[in-house]
Amino acid sequence: MKKLMMTLAVAGAIFIAPEVTEASVKMGDRGSSVETLQQSLASQGYNSSSNIDGVFGPKTLAAVQAYQLSNRISSPRGNFFGVAGPRTLSSLGVSGGSSNSTAASSSSSSSNSSQSTSVAGASSSSSNSGVISTARSLVGSPYVWGGTSPRGFDCSGFIQYSFAQNGKSVPRTVAQMWNAGSRVSSPSVGDLVFFETRTGPSHAGIYIGNNQFIHSGSSTGVTISNMSNPYWSRTYIGARSL
């Protein structure tokens, strides 16, 4: 009898595990908790505003994985890579990431807020999240001088392509982008950041938040870099909003 009671106790401890899963939003889930997650990812530039439908599909999975990688929450080697668990949800500000039901309860207010106000540190243009999503999907594309397609980009070709895929036309060269943009004192998500690697504005990228920008570097191809990097901080000359 004593052994039977111990066996039941162990079984009970194992049975508790699904409660951890309930505090997560994952592939295949549907409903307001997923919609809230999608809205939060979009506000950070990791999800397209057109992908807010309450269905956790491949696009949402990719957005969650990109967010987890950028914020060092998980990686492809992690057991929960692509699962929006408590840590991911809390980082996104989704009701502390306590549970799906908690996330769902905030869906309505989050939706109303996203429609009426700008997210702090982000552009009010709904197209910016789409631009960032497109740009992120191109990470790894090679650098090609004069390149304007995923087969190869130069820095301005990459920016022009990312915006064009979201219905916005921008000039072709870095100098033209610099002249066409409106000066801002500090960049918001979706703004362009410029660097003087040669005389005048000669390199540019798209600001994605958290002091990071995405760009096509001559030695790296499309990649994400930190503006605090000594080289980029030394050559940075300002930001422009298009």
Residue 40 annotated in active site: no
**Which option is the CATH number for 129-241: 3.40.640.10, 3.30.1330.20, 3.90.1720.10, 3.90.650.10?**
3.90.1720.10
For 44-84, the pLDDT digits (tens) are 888 777 788 888 888 888 888 888 887 888 877 776 788 88
Catalytic residue from among 25, 94, 138, 155: 155
Provide the pLDDT confidence category of residue 35 given band limits of 50, 70 and 90.
confident
- 209 CB-near residues (< 8 Å, 6+ apart): 44, 45, 121, 122, 189
How do the domains of the chain map onto residue ranges?
2-117, 129-241
Written as one letter, the residue type at 61 is L
Q: What is the pLDDT of residue 5?
A: 44
Q: Which pLDDT score, from 0 to 100, does residue 38 have?
A: 86
Topology adopted by domain 2-117 = Muramoyl-pentapeptide Carboxypeptidase; domain 1 (1.10.101)
Q: Give the Cα-Cα-Cα angle 29, 30, 35 (nearest 5 degrees).
A: 115
Alpha carbon 25 to chain centroid, angstroms:
17
Per the CB < 8 A criterion, the answer to whether 203 and 175 are in contact is no
DSSP class of residue 242 equals -
pLDDT at 182 over 90: yes
C-alpha to C-alpha distance for 210 and 97, rounded to whole angstroms: 20
Higher pLDDT, 11 or 86: 86
Domains 2-117 and 129-241 are alike in CATH topology:
no
Greater confidence, 125 or 53?
53
Contact 197, 215 (CB under 8 A): no
Does the annotation mark 155 as catalytic? yes
Give the mean pLDDT of the chain: 79
Dihedral pair phi/psi, residue 187, rounded to 5°: -75, 145
Q: State yes or no: pLDDT of 7 exceeds 50.
A: no
Q: Tell me the mean pLDDT in the region 130-152.
A: 95
From 191, 203, 204, 240, the catalytic residue: 203
203 is catalytic: yes
Count how many Cα atoms sit within 13 Å of the Cα of residue 13 in the half-sphere of its side chain: 5
Let me know: does 141 contact 221? Beta carbons within 8 Å.
yes
Q: Which residue has the higher pLDDT, 127 or 138?
A: 138
Cβ atoms of residues 204 and 59 within 8 Å:
no
Out of 59, 136, 215, 240, which one is annotated catalytic? 215
Q: Is the pLDDT of residue 165 over 80?
A: yes
